[in-house]
Structure 1
Amino acid sequence: MALWADRITIKKTIGTSPFELVYGSKARMPINNLLLVYKFIHENNLEMLDPLEEKMEMLAELDESREDSHRKNLKLQQKSKYLFEKKASERKFKINDLVLFWNARAQDKGKHDKFDALWLGPFVVAEKNGEDSYFLTDMNSEMQELPVHGQFLKHFFA
């Protein structure tokens, strides 16, 4: 029951429910209620659409709702990207800069103790390798084997 409720709930990010995106229409009432609606239509001689016309209209609405959801999703992605880039600072390092290196292997819970340092170093930037990749040397001038991406580095101020 909870899964059904989640699937028919309208999501803020896409503006529709997942059910509506998959099936092209809103979740309908149980069949007992639908029979009452059809009975009302027939009793009052209301005009019903031809089944083919109804299906064509439904498909057109489905395409519109998918395109609308796609536009909303792209807009949300652009907003998220803007907010991320607004906070993110560009880290450019020069040769001979002192940097600290993020120990990504130990960052997961249980792989380090409470007071273990997750930033290793200081290291010296030996050379630039590509757009945002650097070779490092330790303070004894021993070169590290592999280059390090700039996102794992930060400036060290002694």
Structure 2
Amino acid sequence: MVTDAHKDWSEYLPLALWAYRTTRHGTTEVTPFSLVYGVEAVLPTEIEVPTTKMLLDEAKDREAELQELEEKREVVGSKMEEYHRRLALAYDKHVQPKVFLEGDLVLKSVDTVMRKMSLPKWAPKWEGPYIVSEVHPNGHCILLDPDHGTTTGPMNFKYVKKYYA
């Protein structure tokens, strides 16, 4: 479809959007087009040669279609909530919260890693050990550098890991 130069992608965008909007989604079990407009999309070929489905749809009362659309949107909303609940449960199964106690030995991430900057290939990504001096319930702790006797600022648990000597 798109050439090697990748400059003609805009020609294919309407086709890709049409395909996306007229395809049933696994979570909602309906097409995005039908959720917005209340009816299924009419293919360009169906305009020239009307199908049985089109003839039956014309006979439907528009008021009933709008009522049906509201019901469909409510059903889709509940399906989306259920989907997100199941997704959260699946994620939570594998997540284990980090627990640190005062006095634990830990390593902290190097500052360049925390700032999402690149490091040389063999540079250490962790420094320490540090001693946990305070633990706060909202997911951060204060560390004490035993060599210099200084404390760090609040460190998010995602930048700290246990040190096993």
Residue segments in structure 1 that go unaligned for 5+ positions in a row: 42-46
**What secondary structure sits across from 1:114 in the alignment?**
coil
**Which has the higher mean CA deviation after the structures are superposed, 18-27 or 79-88?**
18-27
Structure 1 residues 118 and 22, CA gap change in structure 2 (3 angstroms): farther
Q: Which runs of structure 2 are paired with 1:106-117 in the superposition (5 Å)?
A: 106=113, 111-117=118-124
Query: 2:78 maps to what in 1?
Result: 71
Give the TM-score normalised by structure 2: 0.73
Query: 2:36 maps to what in 1?
Result: 22
- 1:105 CA drift (Å): 4.6
**Of the candidates 24, 32, 49, which is equivalent to residue 33 of structure 1?**
49
- Greater relative contact order structure (CA < 8 Å, 6+ sep): 1
Q: Which runs of structure 2 are paired with 1:88-127 in the superposition (5 Å)?
A: 88-103=95-110, 105-106=112-113, 111-127=118-134
| Counterpart contact for 2:112–2:119, Cα < 8 Å | no
Structure 1 residues 78 and 102, CA gap change in structure 2 (3 angstroms): farther
**What secondary structure sits across from 1:80 in the alignment?**
helix
Code of the aligned partner of 1:127: E
**What secondary structure sits across from 1:93 in the alignment?**
coil
What's the C-alpha RMSD, in Å, of the aligned pairs?
2.9
| Counterpart contact for 1:14–1:72, Cα < 8 Å | yes
Q: How many residues are treated as equivalent by the alignment?
A: 147
Structure 1 residues 22 and 120, CA gap change in structure 2 (3 angstroms): farther
1:17 and 1:113 map into 2 onto residues whose CA distance is 48
Percent identity, aligned pairs only, is: 29
Structure 1 residues 104 and 13, CA gap change in structure 2 (3 angstroms): farther
Code of the aligned partner of 1:62: L
Residue segments in structure 2 that go unaligned for 5+ positions in a row: 1-14
- 1:115 CA drift (Å): 2.8
